[in-house]
Amino acid sequence: MLDAYLRPLIDRPLNAAGRGLAKAGIGADTVTLAGFAAGMAAAIAIANGAFALGAVLIVLNRLADGLDGAVARATVKTDRGGYLDIVLDFIFYGAVPLGFIFADPAQNAVPGAVLLFVFYANGASFLAFAIMAAKHGLENTRQGSKSLYFTGGLAEGTETIAVLLAMCLFPSAFPWLAYGFALITAVTTVSRVLLAWQTFR
């Protein structure tokens, strides 16, 4: 919901940093993989109860997620880079709730499973729409220049980052945060399905 409003604020500094990394010889795929490593480290830290460290690593992961696209725009965008970006993002988004489940299975297993289920459904609605949009030649740049069509919704990147950080800052509230965000994400999934129903008749 907030991604399109934040793009104008963050694009200029991200693009400047991306040009600097490109001049230093650091490729977009390298940034993507470094960010993924930080994301997996965040999940491991959370699973071991190091929630503050997990929060820092989540921020690093999301920073890299913005920088890899900026580096690509400063050099050359590739389908491989776009593929890596979206696949590793989805793995990261699943790994963090899983980390909370391992941290406290008794409290977090059921709400974490619900959240992962809704993430799975939402990811399917997102990627299926992107496939059909590419087939029909549709484009959407409200979330910035992307390798595939990004549909909006209540639960986008900004909201997801905020919730994951809130979970790290208030780990005892994970069940309620998970259930609440699962509901918001479910609404996003339904809205995407309805949009697809209307768009691809």
Q: What is the predicted pLDDT for the residue at 64?
A: 94
Q: Please tell me the distance from the alpha carbon of residue 153 to that of residue 157, in angstroms, as a whole number.
A: 10
Which helix (H) or strand (E) element contains residue 5? Answer: helix 3-23
Q: What is the predicted pLDDT for the residue at 22?
A: 86
51-85 per-residue burial string, b: 16 or more CB within 10 A, e: under 16? bebbbbbbbbbbebbbbbbbbbbbbebeeebbebb
Q: Please tell me the distance from the alpha carbon of residue 60 to that of residue 37, in angstroms, as a whole number.
A: 10
Domain definitions of the chain by residue range? 3-199
CATH code matching the domain that covers 3-199, chosen among 1.10.10.10, 3.40.50.300, 1.20.120.1760, 3.40.50.620: 1.20.120.1760
Q: Please tell me the distance from the alpha carbon of residue 27 to that of residue 73, in angstroms, as a whole number.
A: 11
The pTM assigned to this predicted structure is 0.85
Residue 161 in contact with residue 39, Cβ under 8 Å?
Answer: no
| Residue found under tokens 């740049």 | 141
Q: What is the predicted pLDDT for the residue at 159?
A: 86
Q: What is the predicted pLDDT for the residue at 152?
A: 61
Q: What is the predicted pLDDT for the residue at 96?
A: 97
Residue 1 in contact with residue 159, Cβ under 8 Å?
Answer: yes
Q: What is the predicted pLDDT for the residue at 155?
A: 65
- In sign, the C-alpha dihedral spanning 41, 42, 47, 50 is positive
Q: What is the predicted pLDDT for the residue at 149?
A: 57
Which are the contacts of 168, defined by CB distance < 8 A and separation ≥ 6? 46, 51, 52, 54, 55, 58
For the record, the structure tokens of 21 come out as 């990394």
Digitized pLDDT (tens) for each residue of the chain, 201 residues in all = 555 555 666 667 877 888 898 888 899 999 999 999 999 999 999 999 999 999 999 999 999 998 988 898 888 888 898 899 999 999 999 999 999 999 999 999 999 999 999 999 999 988 888 888 888 777 665 555 555 556 666 667 788 899 999 999 999 999 999 999 999 999 999 988 988 898 887
DSSP-derived 3-state class of residue 71: helix
